[in-house]
Amino acid sequence: MDCRVCNGTERLNRRCPQCADETNMRDLGPVDEYYGADSPYEEAGEDMTEAASSGCVHVCRCPSCGREETVAIRPD
């Protein structure tokens, strides 16, 4: 599957819903890389699997408050 964000043809622009910081949340990459088999954060849950079936799921973190979210990037 081709992900526009992974391929660099699109940027992930997401504002933090918790602190409404003026800066965008940082894209930490696909869930597969962030929550990989050797990661201490391996417990991604069933909702991640469901979201992944509809696109590439990226982890985002707010640089101000540290909130993390997952965002599904839908294919074209």
Tell me the one-letter amino acid at 8.
G
Confidence (pLDDT) at 28: 92
Distance CA 39, CA 30 (A): 13
Extract the tokens encoding 18.
């918790």
Nearest to 7 by CA among 63, 55, 54: 55
Q: How would residue 75 be classed by pLDDT, with cut points 50, 70 and 90? A: confident
Contact in structure between 46 and 61 (CB atoms under 8 Å): no
pTM attached to this predicted model? 0.69
The mean per-residue pLDDT over the stretch 39-61 comes to 62
Distance CA 41, CA 43 (A): 6
